[in-house]
Structure 1
Amino acid sequence: MRTTPAFPFSRAGMAALLAMAGMQAQAACGLPDARIHQVQGNGPQSPMQGKTVSVQGVVSSVLYGKDGPAGFFIQEAPQSQDADPATSEGIYVYAGKLALPQLKAGDVVGVRGKVLEYGRKGDARTETQLQPAAAADIQPCGYQGELSPVALRLPLSGDAAQLESLAGMAVKFEQPLFVADSYHYGRYGELTLSSQPRQWVPTQLYRPGSAEAQALRAANQRDRVLLDDDKTWQNADAWLPGPGGLSAASTLRVGDRLDGVTGVVSFSNGAYRIQPVYLPQVTAANPRKAAPARKAGQLRVASFNVLNFFNGDGLGGGFPTERGAKTRDDFLRQKAKIVSAIRQLDADVLGLMELENDGFGPQSAVKELVEALNAGQIADKQYRFVDPGLPKIGTDAITTGMLYRPSRVRPDGAAQALTIGDPGKNRLSLAQTFAVDGKKLTLVVNHLKSKGSSCDQVKVDGVADVDTGDGQGNCNLTRVQAVRDLLKWAQQRGASSKEGLLVMGDMNAYAKEDPIRAFEQGGLSNQLARFQKDAYSYVYQGESGNLDHALADAALAKWVAGAGEWHINADEPTALEYGSEFKSVAQQQKYYAADAYRSSDHDPLYVDLQLVPIAGADEAALGMLGLAGFLAWRRRK
């Protein structure tokens, strides 16, 4: 992560750093006793491991520690390279605390050092390095050499030997690359790039375990590369988009395009990565969008995972909490972002997930959220929260919640907290029926068991609920069991033809996985799939899909005029979240804004309902019809 390129020269200059005519490396620096390709060898480790050798090469890139340069990459001059494609012509020189001479790309240097293989315990591979014993073992030769990056394209072959053969060498991607993931961007400076604008979770598109899903998973892995930031320390300033780097107002989103990515192949922390030589050109190919517009007369129902909204003791203290903000200041920053997102979403009924499960009293999280939403708002925009008459909803630290606008809907009957599936694993669902425009809407808000923690000790229908490796992760059967129980409840509630059921929330299952399939087989239709070509609400490990869903029964599906997601979170870097951890004081200011973007890790969903049929009339025509009716009434009077 840097705000200016380490070597700010043009691509043309990078591709053709000319050697001084007639001058050879050995004339200025002494005769090397090995070529870099001999040190690297044609396998995963050096055949000269443990030996001390002298080499010469052209500097391609410098890596920086917090206190200055930590090492640099050199590459064999073109005239001295061998013809074996399996041997790399580049190598990393680890200097550590040694005082390095001033180095820039294109400098020819001679290096004497010990050949070592460096890697973490448990890593499948290591990086071949030269480690000089003293500063005098690094000698600038006083002139420039030729450095020609090797052309590289995605997708890769899938064989680790491809990048191993380029380890320490400069490469250039002549194709555009796109940001697939930025989860570690703020802390570690890492971006996952792909040749596709978006990589999809296989089970978002295909049935789990299918040949198509397996093929997509393999293709995704081949079609990605890790772009690093030339830094060996954490929490440096995020360097893209240039020239000022990342900020709350200048973001870098999944789907954004990078052209001219050029860097050096390195291996560290268990992965091959590209250490950049200069700033690529960044294009905001996936720009931020304003909240989805509403049409007059429609009812908007939405759901939003609010990322562990915990308000401490509700009196300004009690931080850190079990989950969520670590400090009161961080919580206030979180609250401001959540309020901004909800207000702009402009829902009449809103389901919430990951609320603190601390009841409904004056100091509760849901009470504080509603008060913040209502502050300064006109009466028509004010919210109330649904209270099922229980001290808490279940026993988990987080719970579901529901807000509504009394100006638009009226609760019809008491709310219900529904026990679905294994109560020790699944959070309770919250159901409430509302009367509106002569019809009834029943909303059920859900947050099914996550994929992360294990259900190995759980049996569903006598079958152990383990991760079977088909792409659905842990606890799939537990989620399916919860869906079945919810469907039974829906069938037994005795709804009339004027009552529609809408099931929304974080299902922790992608579109083609068993829980969503169970909903669909039970008579509920997927409204995001109906109205969106490429629905997604979440990005995980560089793959996009929707864990969040809106499913309607036949009665309610007739009222749906549109559905979708507002992509304010999943595509944004985690560095823009409210938290102050892993950020300098300056970064806490630079990365934060009290806006909707990266207010959570999930995108909110919305479903717009046309409860009163308009029979093809637009809003202007509807207004004329209303005026004509009023005039006719006046004539009758």
Structure 2
Amino acid sequence: MLKTTAVLILLSLPAIVQGDACPEPHTPISDIQGSNDHSPMSGTVVAVEGIITLDVRQAGGFQGFYLQQSADHQDDNPETSEGLFIHTHFREGSQGDLVRVEGRVNEYYGLTGLTDVKNLAVCAHPGLPAPRPLAFPTDSRDLLEHLEGMVVALSEPLEVTDTWNLGKYGELALAPRHQFIPTQLERPGPGIATLYQQQELERLLVDDGHRKRAPRPVPYPPGGLSPDNPLRIGDRVHNLVGVMDFRFGDWRLQPLGTPEFETANPRQSAPERHPDANLRVASLNLGNLFNGDGSGGGFPSSRGAASSSQFRAQLGRIATQIKAIAPDILAVAELENDGYGADSTLVDLATALGPEWAFVETAARPGNDEIRNALLYRSDRVRPEGSPVLLDAGAFRRWHRPPVAQDFRLANGKQTLTLVAVHLKSKRCSKAPADQQDQGDGQGCYADARVEAARALAQWPKGVSRRLLVGDFNAYAREDPLEVLGKKGFTDLIRHFHGLRNATYRYHGRAGTLDYHLADELLMPHVLASHIWSANADEPRLWSYQEDRPPAGHEGMPWRASDHDPVITDLRLD
């Protein structure tokens, strides 16, 4: 989203006066707004009177102020708004002042306002109008039209559902309740689109009254985002009073004061190992870990870090997170596919984890994609048994990254575990052929390819038992690939222990599981616990290594090491 504002053409020689009352006549704001989303007076020069409710003429602001009709001049028509945005550089007037403005009615991407202001009169100072109570969500976004530009007060707190643009534009997306990807909870089908639309109706952006990118300090939470003052998905926001605004294609609240934030989803330490477990397996999508040329140069990479310093920050954050989990075996996805030599990214990762870490090396290159799956392990705790195998035929000839399978045994153990690292094709529709296009059922593009891959995984490798399929399946919990594997005897361990209302990933503020640990029937008696550590997806991307201006003090944190959360399973093997 490109956040810009209109170029204003201001007439010269403004007439600015101050007195006790605004002169008559004037055009009611409700006549300008009308009863739909297009002003019936667009292009007309008018004079309006009202109270300045929010002044956003500050540096980097929206170059104007919000005006609301004084109560004694309102028409009490519930279908029309009594608020208007005034585009002007004139500095006279402040919040709570009654003013008279003459200018031209203009529509700017759905926002009705006045431009070409040539007269501004400050008449009195009655103070701010009482806010209109607003129960959110509404049945239709159109019902907010009658509140455009007006001061409102939300009757209930809202929950933070998306922080994607917090560091970029100073925005938060709020909703009355947690929003899940519909196919996380429901089977795919034509009704999924209706659920998406309902979620959109339940969203409201809270803005910061600025049009500039990368506001610093970050406006939310109060006091500024910092390691000691985090903001996470699921936190709640109270005392929401502000101007109902429409710009850049969304309804948003421009607060009149500082909202109150409640920590409702606090950070948690990595899950403790089950007391009876003697083996811990973890998996993590690394979010494109690329090391340039392996010698400190070669940046920006085709994916991932844009500089050597970004790579070091990314690798350090990932290593900190993995060490906190303390796995014995680790499966990773979105690792640069650059071999096993001293300058490879895999060697850099193993080195960052510590001298006890080793990795599985396949005889053949694991596919032709820029990224690959890989397996690492604590050589002081487990031993690989036999040689690893790759699946790069059949369903895995294209699109998906070839799975890597390896048998492992405890250092002094008898039983083996076959671990399979998986990363299936994403839902993105770029270059999707006709037979892999989005079918409108909520599964996105390449859904058939993921189903075909799931069928192949259910039968691979041949002749092994106690299999654990782990990694990024790019399918939510009720989608077809998980249904296929469930019918083949594989248990989704997170769903088994914790139900469906979980997430390892967020997309446009909606939560769901893309990452899984799936155990076959013979392994299930050995499984003691399985967890998602919500260390990444619930955190603002502002903490990401890719952000140019993250808040100070983020170095050495485990948070937001990737955009996916790690999945962890504790087992007991003989």
Deviations 1:95-146 (A, max 9, x none): 1xx2322522x22121111000011xxxxxx111111434xx2222241244
Given that 1:229 and 1:239 are in contact with CA atoms closer than 8 Å, whether structure 2 keeps it comes out as no
Question: What code does the residue aligned with 1:402 have?
Answer: L
Flag the structure with larger Rg.
1
Aligned equivalents of 2:182 and 2:383: distance in 1?
A: 41
Aligned to 2:227: 248
Given that 1:535 and 1:564 are in contact with CA atoms closer than 8 Å, whether structure 2 keeps it comes out as no
Aligned to 2:437: 466
Indicate how the Cα distance of structure 1 residues 276 and 32 shifts in structure 2: closer, same or farther if over 3 A, else same: farther
Q: Which moved more, 1:449-458 or 1:267-276?
A: 449-458
Aligned to 1:44: 37
Aligned equivalents of 1:530 and 1:240: distance in 2?
A: 40
Where do 5+ consecutive residues of structure 2 fail to align?
A: 1-17
Q: By how many angstroms is 1:191 displaced? A: 1.0
Question: What code does the residue aligned with 1:417 have?
Answer: L
Question: What code does the residue aligned with 1:525 have?
Answer: T
Deviations 1:508-549 (A, max 9, x none): 000000111111112111111001132211111121110111
Query: Does 2:533 match 1:598?
Result: no
Question: What code does the residue aligned with 1:138 have?
Answer: L
Q: By how many angstroms is 1:239 displaced? A: 4.2
Residue from 105, 111, 124 that aligns with 2:101: 111
Query: Does 2:168 match 1:187?
Result: yes
Aligned equivalents of 1:73 and 1:591: distance in 2?
A: 37
Aligned equivalents of 2:222 and 2:173: distance in 1?
A: 20
Deviations 1:412-443 (A, max 9, x none): 11111212515221111111111222111001
Q: Matched residues, percent identical?
A: 38
Indicate how the Cα distance of structure 1 residues 413 and 469 shifts in structure 2: closer, same or farther if over 3 A, else same: same
Deviations 1:221-241 (A, max 9, x none): 222211111111111025454
Residue from 448, 451, 456 that aligns with 2:427: 451
Aligned equivalents of 2:319 and 2:25: distance in 1?
A: 65
Aligned to 1:325: 305
Aligned to 2:573: 611
Residue from 518, 542, 553 that aligns with 2:509: 542
Query: Does 2:384 match 1:408?
Result: no
Query: Does 2:278 match 1:304?
Result: no
Aligned to 1:81: 74
Aligned equivalents of 2:396 and 2:248: distance in 1?
A: 39
Aligned equivalents of 1:329 and 1:456: distance in 2?
A: 35
Q: By how many angstroms is 1:349 displaced? A: 0.5
Aligned to 1:168: 149
Aligned equivalents of 2:312 and 2:25: distance in 1?
A: 62
Q: Which moved more, 1:360-369 or 1:40-49?
A: 40-49
Question: What code does the residue aligned with 1:128 have?
Answer: T
Where do 5+ consecutive residues of structure 1 fail to align?
A: 1-24, 120-125, 376-381, 459-463, 613-637
Given that 2:42 and 2:106 are in contact with CA atoms closer than 8 Å, whether structure 1 keeps it comes out as yes
Query: Does 2:520 match 1:553?
Result: yes
CA RMSD, Structure 1 to Structure 2 (Å)? 1.8
Aligned equivalents of 1:301 and 1:355: distance in 2?
A: 18
Question: What code does the residue aligned with 2:125 have?
Answer: Y
Aligned to 1:567: 534
Given that 2:350 and 2:357 are in contact with CA atoms closer than 8 Å, whether structure 1 keeps it comes out as yes
Query: Does 2:96 match 1:99?
Result: no
Aligned to 1:9: none
Given that 2:396 and 2:402 are in contact with CA atoms closer than 8 Å, whether structure 1 keeps it comes out as no
SS of match in other structure, 2:427: coil
Aligned equivalents of 1:227 and 1:118: distance in 2?
A: 20
Aligned equivalents of 1:470 and 1:452: distance in 2?
A: 15
Aligned equivalents of 1:401 and 1:140: distance in 2?
A: 68
Indicate how the Cα distance of structure 1 residues 591 and 229 shifts in structure 2: closer, same or farther if over 3 A, else same: farther
Query: Does 2:331 match 1:365?
Result: no
Indicate how the Cα distance of structure 1 residues 242 and 180 shifts in structure 2: closer, same or farther if over 3 A, else same: closer
Deviations 1:193-218 (A, max 9, x none): 0111x11111000100164x455334
Aligned equivalents of 2:391 and 2:485: distance in 1?
A: 16
Residue from 393, 398, 401 that aligns with 2:366: 393
Residue from 346, 357, 366 that aligns with 1:383: 357
1:426-445 to 2 correspondence within 5 Å?
426-436=400-410, 437-445=413-421
Given that 1:194 and 1:225 are in contact with CA atoms closer than 8 Å, whether structure 2 keeps it comes out as yes
Aligned equivalents of 1:249 and 1:329: distance in 2?
A: 24
Question: What code does the residue aligned with 1:541 have?
Answer: H
Query: Does 2:463 match 1:528?
Result: no
Which protein is richer in helix relative to its size?
1
Indicate how the Cα distance of structure 1 residues 480 and 544 shifts in structure 2: closer, same or farther if over 3 A, else same: same
Deviations 1:541-588 (A, max 9, x none): 12111011110100111111000100001111111111243x3xxxx3
Aligned equivalents of 1:472 and 1:597: distance in 2?
A: 29
Aligned equivalents of 1:141 and 1:610: distance in 2?
A: 78
Indicate how the Cα distance of structure 1 residues 536 and 64 shifts in structure 2: closer, same or farther if over 3 A, else same: farther
Aligned equivalents of 1:572 and 1:102: distance in 2?
A: 40
Deviations 1:358-409 (A, max 9, x none): 011100001001111106xxxxxx211111123x311111111111111221
Question: What code does the residue aligned with 1:170 have?
Answer: V
Q: By how many angstroms is 1:48 displaced? A: 1.1
Deviations 1:299-331 (A, max 9, x none): 110100111100111111110000001011111
Q: By how many angstroms is 1:243 displaced? A: 3.2
Given that 2:281 and 2:327 are in contact with CA atoms closer than 8 Å, whether structure 1 keeps it comes out as yes
Q: By how many angstroms is 1:65 displaced? A: 5.8
SS of match in other structure, 1:301: strand
Question: What code does the residue aligned with 2:568 have?
Answer: Y
SS of match in other structure, 1:321: coil
Indicate how the Cα distance of structure 1 residues 602 and 465 shifts in structure 2: closer, same or farther if over 3 A, else same: same
Aligned to 2:329: 349
SS of match in other structure, 1:157: coil
Q: By how many angstroms is 1:163 displaced? A: 1.3
Residue from 462, 470, 473 that aligns with 1:507: 473
Aligned to 1:59: 52
